Amino acid sequence: MLNNKIQDALNAQINAEFWSAYLYLSMAMHFEQEGLTGIANWFKIQFKEEQAHAEIFINYVNQRGGRVTLKAIDAVPTQWESPLDAFKATLAHEEKVTAMINEIYAITEEVHDYATRDRLKWFVSEQVEEEETARGLIDKFTMIGDNNMGLYMLDQELGSRVYNAPSALAE
Q: How confident is the model at residue 168 (pLDDT cuts 50, 70, 90)?
A: confident
pLDDT for 117-129, tens place per residue? 999 999 999 999 9
Superfamily of domain 4-69+79-161: Ferritin, core subunit, four-helix bundle (1.20.1260.10)
Contact 55, 40 (CB under 8 A): no
pLDDT at 170 over 80: no
Q: Which position has the higher pLDDT, 129 or 166? A: 129
Q: Per-residue pLDDT averaged across 69-92, rounded?
A: 97
Look over the chain and give the mean of its residue pLDDT values, rounded to a whole number.
96
Residue ranges covered by each domain of the chain: 4-69+79-161
Q: State how far the Cα of 33 lies from the Cα of 11, in Å rounded to an integer.
A: 33
**If you average pLDDT over residues 67-83, what whole number do you get?**
97
The confidence band for 166, taking pLDDT boundaries of 50, 70 and 90, is confident
CA atoms 121, 171, 126, 110: torsion sign: negative
Distance between alpha carbon 37 and the CA centroid of its chain, in Å?
20
